[in-house]
Structure 1
C-alpha cells in the first residue's frame, strides 16, 4: 500500500465533503486533491526526485496536510522537523537527511538564514505562511497556482515514506526510516482495535504533526474518511473553542494537555458534547488525572496508546478497559492486531508472565532502521526483533505494564528527552565537575527533567544559571526543570553513575 491511497479513495467517495479546516479556511476533498497534485508538480519542477527528502518546519495547518500528501505524490520522503528544537538541532537533522527543499511558515521563517548557514545542501526555501513571502523564498501559494497537476508516483511498500528525527542517546538526533508498509501496518492495526476514529467524523489535531502519534491520528481519520481541524499550537481556550465550533468527534492529547483543559476556569462554559473519543499517551498519566478527565468528558470514550517513533503504535488500552477500571488502568493495554510483542531477558529469551524484562516487537510496523547509522540500527534490530529499550511485564491476558526505561529516556509533557543530551549540555559549563540527569514524577508534566550536579572545587553556579546555559545548546523543554547539588554521585566499581540509586532516593524535589 502507499499512503496517498487514502486521498484517492476520499476523492472518489466524498469529493465535496470538507476535508481540512484551518481557522476560517475550509477546503473540500476535491480542492485538496487538486492542490496536492499541483504542489507535487511544483516539487518535481524544483528537482525533487524519487526518494528525495523534503523538510517541513512549521506549526500545524492545512498546508502541513497538503505537504505530506504532495511529497508522497511527487515520490519524495517527508522530513517533518521538531518545532521545539534549537536551530543547531534542526540544522543537524536537515544536513543529516540531505534535504535540499524546506518549507517554513511565518513562525520559523526568521530562522532561514541560520539554517542556510548550517545546511550547505539546502537550496530551496518555500514560505508556507499567511504573511508576505520573505526575500529569497518561494511562495507556496504561487507554486500551486503556477504548476500543473502531477500524476501520483504511488511509491509504497518498503520504500521510505518518512524520515522522523528523534533524540539520540549519543546526544545527536537520529532519523527513523518509516516505510509506507510500516506506517500503514501501524495505522491498520490501531484502527482495527480502536473505537476512536469515527467514519465521516472530525479529528482535531493540536498535538504537533511531527510526532508519530499525531501523524498516525491524522492518517487514521484520512483512512476512514472525514474532516481534519488544525490548531497551530495547543492552548486550553483554543482547544475548547475548536471543539465547540467544529463539533469535533476525536482528538489526541498528551496528559499535560488534558490537565490544562480540565483545569481551565471556564471549562463548563464550552460545549464539548460532540467529543466521542479521546486518545491519550506520550507520558505518564496519573490515575487521578484520568478520573478527572473521564468525569469532565462523560460522553467520550478514552483510549491510551503506547509506542515509539521506531514502531508506531504497539499497544492500546481501549475504552472497554477504562470502563472496567481496576489495575489494568495502570497498563498500556494489549498489542494491536499488526504487532507481535514479547518481554525478554538479557539473553534474549522470552520471559514468563509477570517477569520484568525488555519490551521487544516484530512485524511490518517496525522501521527499516536509522538513516545512515548501520551500527546503531544493528543495536536495536537484532535476532529478528526491535528492542525498544523499555522495560516492562505482561500479565496473563497480554496486558503490558511499562515499568522503567532502559535507555534513560525522560518523557516530559509528551516530549522525549534523552539524559545524555542534557548531561552533555550541562557538562560543558565550566563550573560542572560531573552530573546525572533523571526523570522524576511531576503532577503537571508526567515527568520532569531533574539534574544532579557536582560542582568543581571553588566554583559557584546556580540552578538558574545552569538552566540558562543548557537552553543555549538544546531545546528549552530539555533543560532541567529542577537541579540539586551534591558532593558526590554514586558510582559502580567500573565508575558508571548508578542512576537507579539516584531515582530511588528521590521522589519529586521542588522545581527551581
Structure 2
C-alpha cells in the first residue's frame, strides 16, 4: 500500500480528465503526473533522502497537491504546516521535525528569512506562489522545468508518509507520525461508508490541507480519479461561487463554515443544486445549525465525520440517518469499515452501552506515535488502544455519542457537566450565533458553568434570558451560572474553539 497508487490509477484510467483546478489554472491527470515526477526529481537533486521531511507552509492550491505526491514519489515525508500559527509556533514545528526543505507561497514568503534564522537545519526555501520569487529562494516552476521525470520509488506500507502537528488546543503541538498504511486504511474505511465521491465527481477543497479532515477529503477524490477544485481561503461568497462555477458535487465543512454559508445574504442567488454530499465535522455542530443547513441544501445528502489527527476518520453518520432525523442526529455515527472503537473506564475496562467513558480505538488506521516523544506516545497508546481523550458512550446499535473532551468536563457542586450538552442548549437560542461553555473557578461550587457567547448581528440578549432558555432544555445545575458576551471566539485552524485560551484568561474570576 502506497499513497501514490491514486495517481498511477488515475493516470492509467483517466489520463485526460481534469484533475486539478486552482483559480484560472487547470490541469489534466497526465499533466499533473508529469509535473509530480519532475518535482520529485528536483527534490532528489536538492539532496532530499528517503525519510526526510519536506515542509509546506501555504494556502490550499494545486501545487500543494503536487507537493504531496512528489514527496511520496521520491520517498520523503510530507510535513504540512498550520498556516494560522505564529512565526514562533511555525519555527518550533520546523525545528522539532528536522525539516530541511520548506515550500512557501506568496502569503508566507516573508517568513523565509526569520525561519532560516530560527531553524539552523533549514537549508532550502522554495517559493511555490504566483508572484516573483524572493531573493534567496528557489522557484517552484523553474525546478519542475529544470528536471527530467524520475520513476516512483513506491515506498509504502509502514514507512512514514506524513508528519502532522496536532492543533495545539491543549499545549505545545506534537508531531503525529502517520504511515502510508494508516492513511490509506483511514481513507478506504471512510469511503466505504461515506460514498461521497465517484469517477467524475468534483470535490471543493475548502478546509486547510494541513488538517486531517481536509486531507481525507482530498485523497478520497484522488483515489477515484475525480476533479479537485482548490479554494485557497474560505469565504461564504467564494464557496458559493466555486460550487456554482465548477458544478461541485461534494465538500467538507466545519460548523463555522456551515454557519457562514447559511447566513450569507446572497445565498439564494447562487445555484448550489450540484452538491450531492456535504460532510461536516471538526467540531461539535449544534442541532439548530444542522437543521438550518439541511433546509438550505435540500438536494444534498449530509454526512458527519468524527476523528482526530492521530487516527484519521473513526466514525461516520450517513445520509440515511440524517434523512430519518430523530435522536440519531445527536450521534457521531458508527465506526467505519476499518475501525474498531470502544468506550472504557479510567481503569481501562470496556463499558456497557449508555455509560460515559473515554473513547478508544485500535487498528491499522492509528498513528505510529508522536515524533520524538516516546513517553507521550506510551501515554496515548495503552494496552493496544489509542486513547482519544474524548468522553462519550455507545448505544445498543453501535452509534457513538460524544459528550465532551475529558479535559472540558466541568465538575460543579460534585456533579459532572459536559460542556457540549450545555452548548447545544445555549446555541438553540435565536440570538446566539456561537458559544463556548467552560468551567471557571468558583468559591462555592468549585467550578461554575460559564458561557461565552457571540450574538447574531443586530440581535441582543441578556444573561438572564440565556440562563432561562437553557433551563427549559437541560437540568438547572447544568445551565450557565454566568454568561459573557464577546465579539468573537478564539478558533483553531480546524474550526475548533480554543477553550484553553478562554480558560487561561478567566482562571482568576470568582462568582459575583
TM-score range normalised by the length of the shorter chain:
0.7 to 0.9
1:168 shift after superposition: 4.8
Query: What residue ranges of structure 1 are gaps of 5+ in the alignment?
Result: 411-437, 455-462, 490-504, 507-512
Partners of 1:302 and 1:486 in 2: how far apart?
A: 39
Whether contact under 8 Å (1:380, 1:388) holds in the other structure is yes
SS at 1:178's partner residue?
Answer: strand
Q: Distance in 2 between matches of 1:362 and 1:154?
A: 26
Change (3 A) 1:167 1:235: closer
CA, structure 1 residues 29+178, in 2 after alignment: closer, same or farther (shift >3 Å)?
Answer: same
Whether the 8 Å CA contact 1:450–1:483 is kept in 2: the answer is no
The residue aligned with 2:87 is 87
1:480 deviates by 4.4
Take 1:83 and 1:179, find their aligned partners in 2: how far apart are those partners?
23
Deviations 1:275-312 (A, max 9, x none): 00000001111111111111111111100000000000
Question: CA 1:223 to 1:242, structure 2 compared with 1: closer, same or farther past 3 Å?
Answer: same
Deviation, 1:475, is 12
The offset of 1:240, in angstroms, is 0.4
* Match of residue 31 from structure 2: 31
**Mapped partners of 2:409, 2:44: distance in 1:** 39
| Distance in 1, Cα, partners of 2:255 & 2:285 | 6
1:76 counterpart residue number: 76
Q: 1:483 to 1:157 in 2, by over 3 A?
A: closer
Aligned: 1:185 with 2:181: no
Q: Distance in 2 between matches of 1:18 and 1:124?
A: 32
Q: Counterparts of 1:451 and 1:202 in 2: how far apart (Å)?
A: 43
CA distance in 1, matches of 2:231, 2:409: 28
CA distance in structure 1 between the aligned counterparts of 2:370 and 2:508, rounded to whole angstroms: 39
Partner secondary structure for residue 6 of structure 2: helix
1:265 aligns with 2:265: yes
SS at match of 2:275: coil
Whether the 8 Å CA contact 1:283–1:447 is kept in 2: the answer is no
Cα gap change, 1:42/1:400 in structure 2, threshold over 3 Å: closer, same or farther? same
Query: What is the SS of the residue equivalent to 2:10?
Result: helix
> For 1:136-158, what per-residue CA distance to the aligned partner results, in whole angstroms no more than 9, with x for missing partners?
00000000000111111111001
Q: What corresponds to 2:340 in structure 1?
A: 340
Q: 1:381 is matched with which residue?
A: 381
Q: Is the 8 A contact 1:169 1:407 kept in 2?
A: no
CA gap of 1:375–1:169, structure 2 versus 1, over 3 A, is farther
Q: Which residue of 1 aligns with 2:371?
A: 371
The corresponding residue for 2:400 is: 400
The 1-side partners of 2:216 and 2:131 are apart by 29
Cα deviation digits, residues 464-512 of structure 1 (max 9, x gap): xxx9xxx9xx9998584699767666xxxxxxxxxxxxxxx99xxxxxx
Shift of residue 408 of structure 1?
4.0
1:204 paired to 2:204: yes
Alignment of 1:46-125 (within 5 A): 46-125=46-125
Question: Compared with structure 1, are the counterparts of its residues 393 and 409 closer, same or farther at alpha carbon in structure 2 (3 Å cutoff)?
Answer: closer
Runs of 5+ in structure 2 lacking a partner?
411-418, 443-451, 453-485
Aligned to 2:254: 254
Seen in structure 2, the aligned counterparts of structure 1 residues 358 and 285 have a Cα distance that, compared at 3 Å, is same
Distance 1:218 1:391 in 2: 29
CA 1:46–1:233 in 2, change beyond 3 Å: closer, same or farther?
same
Report the TM-score, using the length of structure 2 for normalisation.
Answer: 0.83
Distance in 2 of aligned mates of 1:134 and 1:37: 25
TM-score of the pair, normalised by structure 1: 0.83
| Preserved contact between residue 190 and residue 313 of structure 1 (Cα < 8 Å) | yes
Matches of residues 376-455 of structure 1 in structure 2 within 5 Å? Answer: 376-408=376-408, 441=423, 443=427, 448=436
In structure 2, the residue corresponding to 1:375 is in which secondary structure? helix
| Gap change, CA 1:79 and 1:483, over 3 Å in 2 | closer
Secondary structure of the 1:360 match is strand
Please report how far the alpha carbon of residue 452 of structure 1 lies from its aligned counterpart in structure 2 after TM superposition: 5.0
SS at match of 1:377: helix
**Aligned-partner Cα distance in 2 for 1:447–1:148:** 53
- Partner Cα separation in structure 2 for residue 316 and residue 26 of structure 1: 32
Please tell me whether residue 8 in structure 1 is matched to residue 8 in structure 2.
yes
Q: Please tell me whether the aligned partners of residues 448 and 480 of structure 1 are also in contact (alpha carbons under 8 angstroms).
A: no
Q: CA deviation at 1:116?
A: 1.1
